[in-house]
A = this chain, B = another copy of it.
Amino acid sequence: MAGRKQFDVEAALDAAMIQFWSRGYAETSIDDLTRATGLNRSSLYSSFGDKNSLFVRCLQRYVARYGKRFDEALANADAPPLDAARSFFAVTMDRIADPDVPDGCLVVQSAMAIPVLTPKAVERVHEAVNIQLTRVRAALRRAGLPETAADELAVHITAVNHSLAVMSRAGANESQLHSIVNVTLDALATVLAA
């Protein structure tokens, strides 16, 4: 059972990511990770380093994967800005509806745990939140909004997006999640119409 790697690194990272996402850093043990990935301790440590390194890598993976989807949702230059915003939220709604993946959001969960994360992990969380903020603000600017309006709406939209993670974990149904988004979309529509 040795010689060359016996497992798929990408699949193992996905499994670890889902484990952290579902239960958080503190409540995920090395044994949990070996069970989830199918790897044993030696392989886990030799391939990914210690628990915190693996966690940071999973965070990066999460940010890259869904960041790409958010970018795509906002990128369609032909679509009206309001549709772009709708698509943006749809990324999160689809993720929540995806049965292969936990509720909530790894970034939001990690943000709430910042006081007990390592400095490296904290840095990644801050980075993730700022990237999202920048992404949304840039899209609003492209849609023609002045800077102050774009700043205000961007932070509101990212915050509301995070709130979907909280509410989905708290048991909100799809209709409630849509209500949360709709009020924000209405507000955006009002600003765009002005």
Contacts and interface: CB of A to CB of B under 8 A. Distances in A.
Interface of A: 22-24, 26-27, 102, 104, 108-109, 111-116, 125-126, 129, 151-153, 155-156, 159-160, 162-167, 169-172, 176, 179-180, 182-184, 186-187, 190
A141 to B, nearest CB: 15
A27 B116 CA distance: 7
A162 B171 contact: no
A112 B165 contact: yes
Given A24-B113, A102-B115, A108-B166, 13 more contacts: A22-B115, A23-B116, A26-B27, A111-B169, A112-B165, A126-B171, A129-B170, A155-B167, A155-B180, A159-B163, A165-B166, A183-B184, A190-B190
A102 B114 CA distance: 12
Contacts of A167: 129, 155, 159, 162
Contact of A104 (B24, B112, B180): B112
Contacts of A27: 26, 113, 116
A181 to B, nearest CB: 8
A184 B166 contact: no
B170 A126 contact: yes
Contacts of A163: 159-160, 162-163, 166
